[in-house]
Amino acid sequence: MINGAQLTRFLNPQDKDLEMRYFVAKCFAQVLGIDVSPHMIPENPPDNMELQVDDLNGRFTFRSNHFDVVHSQMVAGGIHANRWRSYIRDIFRVLRPGGWCQMVEIYYNAQSDNGTLSRGNLPSLLNTETSVS
pLDDT along the chain (133 residues), means of 10: 37 44 65 79 79 88 91 86 93 92 79 71 54 41
Q: Which residues have CB under 8 Å from 50's CB, separation 6+?
A: 30, 31, 32, 33
pLDDT score, position 4: 37
pLDDT score, position 57: 93
What's the per-residue H, E or C state across 96-113?
EEEEEEEEECCCCCCCCC
pLDDT score, position 15: 43
pLDDT score, position 106: 78
Q: Quote the CA–CA distance of 3 and 43 in Å, as a whole number.
A: 29
pLDDT score, position 132: 42
pLDDT score, position 90: 95
